[in-house]
Structure 1
Amino acid sequence: MARWQEQEGARRQAEEAAYHAAKEKACGRHRPHRPKIKPVRQGRATMWTEFWTIHGWEEGYEGTVPELVEELVGSERGGLAIWASDEIGHACVTVESYRRQPPLEIKGWDEVVQVGYDSPGGALTLSDGNGKSLTGLTAAGPGAYRVRVHLRGRRLVYQVPDPPDGAVELLIMVFPGEQKKPVVYR
């Protein structure tokens, strides 16, 4: 019995690893974003959620769950939330941090929303439900920022019971900015 349980556990681990590898491969097929100005940092990841959103927190602000603007992005001091899937799923995420405001890019994106973000420690980290994280989002240290989130694929997720892998793409740009009021571009 013990040997069967061990074999079953190994089989399940291999099955889960293959599942995640397929999702990673689907996200890898998307062309990398080519920013119009050079970011300080750029990162890509396949991020997972079981409750619609991925979160960004700074130390001491974990658990903050801001309300979303246009059901896409929300922020509070030290906390950020970004819609990523329909309840359970994954999103192909690109993050870019800048020291100045990047040019607005709306072509090819279904939704673009920008919010203010107050960084108490200058160390915002975006994390998913599987422990994956993207760090270094607040390049100018503590202070006021703008977070611009670009999304494509949400309509497909809601229209099809089993959307194709890699259907949801997010581009998240973080840059210094004093304005607190959200702006909906698209």
Structure 2
Amino acid sequence: MSQTVPPFADLLAQCQTSAVHLEMRDVYGVADEDADFAAWRAGHRHSLDNRAQWWNVFHDSVAKAVARGVVVRRARVVSEPVTEYIRYEHSCTFQNVMAGEQVRWLPRCLASDLLLPGNDLWLFDDRLIRFGLFSGDGAFVGHTLSDDLQLIKAVSDSFEAVWDRATPHDQYTI
């Protein structure tokens, strides 16, 4: 199914109240992160004090939305022990927090009785879902959109169930 999906920044710019992100993969092969991941593997760590080193368009979009009053939340469902990629994500999550996101982590073993969507997603204002599609090895494949009200309700309920059980980022250790 071919579908034109607006850029994330445009979707977030249209948000008025909330944007939630549900991540459920243990590995992502996202091309624009490969260099950063490789540097992290080699021992490089971003510094909280050197924002110019890591701040980017994504952080700008989130910070602008939060400044408008949009609540931006991200929940990550992860296997434990965590993968190397999740250790990398955990070490960089301070960037999301600095942009204004609230972030929580849920060990997959605590999600067994939850009904979760098959794909990662962003839900904007409980009106539009942007699903992220990935191959088995984590390579980004594309996005699809849905404004189906029943699906939005189910996805929202799933996110809230994860959020309620998950550990805030500053308390989750790996």
TM-score, scaled to structure 2:
0.26
Give the helix-richer structure, 1 or 2. 2
Give the strand-richer structure, 1 or 2. 1
TM-score, scaled to structure 1:
0.25
Structure possessing the higher radius of gyration over alpha carbons: 1
